[in-house]
Amino acid sequence: MATSPRRLPNLNALRAFEAAARHESFSAAAEELFVTHSAISHQIRALETELGATLFQRSGRRVALTEIGQAYARQVSAAFANIAAATASIVRDHKTPRLVLSTIPSFAARWLAPRLGRFILANPEIDLELRSTTDIVDLEHADVDVAIRFGTGPYPDLHVEPLMSETFLVACSPTFNGGVFPRTPAELPSFTLLRSDYEHWRLWFDAAGLDGIQTPVRGAIYEDSSLLIEGAVEGLGIAMVRSSLAADALATGRLVPLFPEIVAPSPWRYWVVSSKANAERTPVARFREWVVAEARTFMAAQPGQPAASLPFAPETASLHAVLGQSEVQERSTAAPPAPHSGSSEHVSPRGHGRLRTTGLKSFPPLGQGEKTPTDRTTTRNQPRKKKQALE
């Protein structure tokens, strides 16, 4: 049985209305759609006439949605989003499988990137793009398929799987201070302690039972956890480091642990996150399965590390009280050895599978101990940047 055609407004008028409603500006809508301001105004006037309702209140060149306009804008925007998603799905399904992955620079450089070759070799038909950024990506709308986040979770309305927990330990270069190290944790404040907003000394001091010792308030501050580790490797001081990020430096002897029996659980952990719509796509599902297996293998090899499936440590509330925020986030630009800025592309040895990296500087494979001077620090006399959310 044939159905009658649907009665729809002029689609150009709908596009003009959706853009103007989203920007709350006819001028911005005109710029987005590459038309004139008067063309947008004319299209919306025609749409209002057809609907028999006023969608915008006008005051000179300023416009604001009416109550009817707001309700209509929500429905129209959702319809356009559905059309865009359906289009992207068809395009994606008829192209070479592609996976866009986003995570924070320090984790990308020091843990993930050295392992990605195994994923590419196992999945040569998938083109992988790795984006390192400190921005929280909108996984419902951005061109990103899956992300690895470091935070408290649980990220509602997304498909979320815990990846691994994290711990903090204290380490320094074997050449630091001529090889003369503190004999007890209580002696630490008399040595140079490297600082970071995201590796807060209070956590480790509390784990060591040093309630009466104040956290350091002077000296260089590293906004990048990768740079903090490099500062310690270069012998600039003693650092409290994330176990996952410092594992290679510790394994190769570029760092030595101090008081290894004292490990502070982190109130944050790593999560594999995607939109629910993307969660079961083959490239996403394969990557999620692979990275979870990699994390389990890594965690099992770390002495004193909690299992990847363990819940958060109870220190979460106390740390939030120390830092005064609901979730510590990292602003970092990875600064690993042999820097190479921008994007790069690598092809797997089989000639299949392509890795494109964005915002991630090159980093040596596990076991190569090249070093680079630290060059991104802030001191007491320099302005501090406002903290941003991390991925």
pLDDT tens for 287-296 read 999 999 999 9
Q: Is the pLDDT of residue 262 over 60?
A: yes
Tokens of 92: 């994606």
Is the pLDDT assigned to residue 181 strictly greater than 90?
yes
Tell whether the model's pLDDT for residue 310 goes beyond 70.
Answer: no
Q: What angle do helix axes 37-51 and 11-23 make, rounded to 10 degrees?
A: 110
225 & 146 share domain: yes
Please say which residue of 69, 90, 111 terminates a domain: 90
Domain edge (last residue) among 90, 125, 144: 90
- Are 211 and 228 within one domain? yes
User: How many CB atoms sit inside 10 A of residue 265's CB?
Assistant: 20
Is residue 4, in this structure, part of any structural domain at all? Answer: no
| Co-location of 72 and 181 in the same domain | no
Band the pLDDT of 297: cuts 50, 70, 90.
very high
Domain identity same for 148 and 215:
yes
Same domain, 111 and 177: yes
Instruction: Provide the residue type at 60 as one letter.
Output: G
For the segment 116-129, the average pLDDT, to the nearest whole number, is 94
Total number of domains constituting the chain: 2
Q: Which of 71, 90, 109 is the last residue of a domain?
A: 90
What Å distances lie between residue 97 and 91, 218, 294, CA to CA?
10, 50, 22
What residue numbers bound the domain in which 176 lies? Answer: 96-391
Same domain, 230 and 214: yes
CATH code for the domain in which residue 30 is found: 1.10.10.10
Do residue 172 and residue 102 come from a single domain?
A: yes
Query: Could you tell me the pTM of the whole model?
Result: 0.61
Q: Phi/psi at 146 (nearest 5 deg)?
A: -150, 150
Specify whether 289 is located in the same domain as 273.
Answer: yes
Flag whether 5 is in a domain: no
- Do 116 and 84 share a domain, yes or no? no
Tally of CB atoms within 10 A around 30: 20
Residues 40 and 100 in one domain: no
